[in-house]
Structure 1
Amino acid sequence: MTRPDIVTEALTAEAFAPFGEVLHIDGAPDKLINKGRCGRHHDLARLDFGDGHAGISLFNSELAEMPYRLELLERHPLGSQAFIPMSQSRFLVTVAEDDNGVPGTIRAFIARAGQGVNLHRNVWHGVLCPLDGTGIYAVVDRIGGGNNLDEYHLDAPVTVRSE
């Protein structure tokens, strides 16, 4: 199947809701802690690990360039996966809803500095694509037995362009 080029969208909570949550500070904190020196923005993502447990890993990815050539999507059927940049950097997020076991329409977002994402269980997504910064990310995902990775190689690559 031939797919058209994709133009990135702004990463907003509303636009990204079918795929997961946007992790960022928006508005006043839920409460102040540490004698008022720290604002806690509480419980921002739905972590879902089935029969496994939450693990925190560090990823160190090569920087990507735009336009980006998208060739592979993957999903994690047994748990959610959160990507949190460890530098003030942007990254490309490509996602697709499931269409009978394969990726459906692909959408692309640019996470701006200060944003991360939590991908819900079974959401098709591209590989980590930092656009600047260090390429180092904290990743919170499921650790446990079973196959938690499905890969889908696109018949023809898709070009993702900036908006």
Structure 2
Amino acid sequence: MTRTLTLEHLTAAAFAPFGDVLEVAGAPDKIINQGLCGRYHDLASIDIVDGRAGISIFDAQPRELPLTLDMMERHPQGSQAFLPMTHQPFVVVVAPDADGTPGQPRAFLTTPGQGVNYARGTWHGVLTPIHAPGLFAVVDRIGDGPNLQEHWFETPFIIKG
């Protein structure tokens, strides 16, 4: 038996309980670089416990819809930002915490150019590009100690477009 999730459009308001949407929206906060660059300033908080912020590059294999969601993870010691290095949409899955396990998941489809910053401790699905290449810059906690919790669902979800 499976349960079904339908992809929602990713908006800052819908995603707010889980973190930040990173996107160019509205007028820039400041014009810099001799008037040739708009700066959209301070779009997310990097929340790190007992470590430091680092930048990594992830190269994820693309997936196809429908997707099976059988596992979610969270990082209790740091936020995690995913910034696509291509102009392609990707799938974002998040869930509220329900007494130490994921509650009802929600699945979002980004628009090209959007990234996300998962708040520290937010249950989320794995990185899920739907187009190649799946290149992402990732800003997250670098440090010793456990910072990964996984939850496997007894009954998986199917994510449809």
TM-score when scaled to structure 2?
0.97
Instruction: Tell me the residue number matched to 1:132.
Output: 131
Q: Distance in 2 between matches of 1:17 and 1:133?
A: 28
Q: Which residue of 2 aligns with 1:74?
A: 73
CA distance in 2, matches of 1:69, 1:102: 18
1:54-83 deviation digits (Å, cap 9, x = unpaired): 000000000011111111100000000000
Q: How does 1:4-43 map to 2 (within 5 A)?
A: 4-43=3-42
**Cα distance between partner residues in 2 of 1:53 and 1:153:** 29
Give the unaligned 5+ runs of structure 1: none
Asked if 1:153 is matched to 2:152, the reply is yes
Q: Is the 8 A contact 1:90 1:133 kept in 2?
A: no
Contact 1:82 1:119 in 2 (8 A): yes
Q: What is residue 102 of structure 1 aligned with on the other side?
A: 101
User: Partner of 2:14: helix, strand, or coil?
Assistant: helix
Letter aligned with residue 123 of structure 1: T
C-alpha contact 1:95 1:126 (8 A) present in aligned 2: yes
Runs ≥4 in structure 1, deviation > 6 angstroms?
none
Aligned to 2:85: 86
SS in 2 for 1:57: strand
Give the match's secondary structure for 2:131.
Answer: coil
Superposed CA deviations along residues 71-96 of structure 1, whole A, max 9, x for unmatched, are 11000000000000000011000000
Q: Percent identity?
A: 53
Total equivalences in the alignment: 161
TM-score (norm 1): 0.96
- Match of 1:122, SS? coil
CA RMSD of aligned residues (A): 1.0
Q: Distance in 1 between matches of 2:17 and 2:25?
A: 19
Contact 1:73 1:124 in 2 (8 A): yes
Distance 1:90 1:39 in 2: 23
After superposition, the C-alpha distances for 1:30-70 in whole angstroms (9 at most, x for unaligned) are: 00111101100000001101121100000000001111111
Whole-Å separation in 2 of the counterparts to 1:35 and 1:68: 45
Q: 1:145 Cα shift?
A: 1.4
Once the 2 structures are TM-superposed, how far is the Cα of residue 3 of structure 1 from its aligned partner? 6.2
Distance 2:60 2:3 in 1: 27
Amino acid across the alignment from 2:140? D
